[in-house]
């Protein structure tokens, strides 16, 4: 099983989607699984409600994701507590999906942003880190999230430096430039992986 990781705004989702297409693999998104767990009455939602009461619940009974995101990036203990709730469920779901696909002879690729932070790298046969320069990531965060450069810097600082993730990876895709350059790298990597796995 292949994992795609990287930092915020490096372009992990784009690379995972394109690489998955080249390899004919289903793409599992750990962030998407986390979001689904936080939908009303799902296991993550219930635990958030149990631990923090109505602090992050809006008037409609849903989790106020914007409020929760701000708290996660400003309060390390809160972030760790939330991760302790969600991560084991996400990991088990990825492993179960991989077992089902492999039993049918199908491939799976998982996009796991915090792969190294949570120590899941041993769950995968090959890890691809998507790299982009800090300047490029900051620009993307400011534009995408409509936040100040200072706020974008805080979000970036909350994660492991992308250079460290690149050093640990089996492969690195540099997504600092044009998409065509990124696709060229992905195409070569897919050729290698098809012949190796």
The count of structural domains within the chain is: 1
Q: What is the pLDDT of residue 189?
A: 98
- Note down the domain range covering 135: 2-192
CATH number of the domain where residue 187 is located: 3.40.50.300
Distance of alpha carbon 103 from alpha carbon 31, whole angstroms: 25
**pLDDT over 80 at 175, yes or no:** yes
Q: What is the pLDDT of residue 81?
A: 94
Mean pLDDT in residue range 68-96: 91
Distance of alpha carbon 185 from alpha carbon 194, whole angstroms: 14
Q: What is the pLDDT of residue 84?
A: 92
**pLDDT over 80 at 171, yes or no:** yes
pTM: 0.89
Q: What is the pLDDT of residue 110?
A: 97
**pLDDT over 80 at 197, yes or no:** no
In this structure, is residue 197 part of a structural domain? Answer: no
pLDDT-derived band at 161 (thresholds 50, 70, 90) equals very high
As a residue count, the chain comes to 197
Q: Is the dihedral of CA 157, 141, 169, 75 positive or negative?
A: positive
In this structure, is residue 7 part of a structural domain? Answer: yes
Element holding 173 (H helix, E strand): strand 171-174
Distance of alpha carbon 27 from alpha carbon 82, whole angstroms: 24
Mean pLDDT in residue range 62-72: 91
Mean pLDDT in residue range 85-102: 91
Mean pLDDT in residue range 26-33: 94
Q: Are 65 and 146 in contact (CB under 8 A)?
A: no
Lowest mean pLDDT among 5-9, 11-15, 72-76, 91-95: 72-76
CA 71 to chain centre: 19
**pLDDT over 70 at 157, yes or no:** yes
Distance of alpha carbon 137 from alpha carbon 147, whole angstroms: 13
CA angle, residues 49, 52, 57, in degrees to nearest 5 = 55
In this structure, is residue 108 part of a structural domain? Answer: yes
In this structure, is residue 87 part of a structural domain? Answer: yes
Give per-residue pLDDT as tens, 140-151.
999 999 999 998
pLDDT-derived band at 191 (thresholds 50, 70, 90) equals very high
Distance of alpha carbon 83 from alpha carbon 36, whole angstroms: 14
In this structure, is residue 40 part of a structural domain? Answer: yes
Element holding 2 (H helix, E strand): strand 2-6
In this structure, is residue 140 part of a structural domain? Answer: yes
């Amino acid at each position: 099983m292949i994992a795609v990781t990287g930092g915020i705004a490096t372009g992990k989702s784009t690379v995972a989607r394109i690489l998955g297409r080249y390899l004919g693999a289903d793409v599992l998104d750990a962030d998407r699984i986390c979001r689904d767990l936080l939908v009303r009455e799902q296991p993550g939602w219930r635990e958030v409600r149990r631990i923090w009461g109505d602090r992050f619940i809006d008037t409609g009974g849903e989790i106020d994701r914007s409020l929760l995101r701000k708290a996660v990036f400003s309060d390390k203990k809160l972030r760790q507590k939330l991760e302790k709730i969600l991560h084991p469920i996400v990991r088990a779901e990825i492993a179960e999906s991989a077992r089902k696909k492999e039993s049918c002879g199908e491939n799976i690729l998982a996009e796991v942003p915090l792969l190294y932070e949570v120590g899941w790298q041993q769950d995968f046969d090959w890890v691809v880190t998507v790299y982009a320069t800090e300047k490029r990531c900051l620009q993307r965060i400011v534009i995408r999230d409509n936040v100040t450069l200072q706020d974008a810097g805080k979000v970036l600082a909350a994660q492991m430096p992308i250079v460290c993730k690149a050093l640990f990876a089996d492969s690195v895709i540099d997504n600092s430039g044009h998409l065509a350059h990124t696709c060229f790298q992905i195409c070569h990597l897919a050729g290698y992986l098809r012949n190796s796995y």
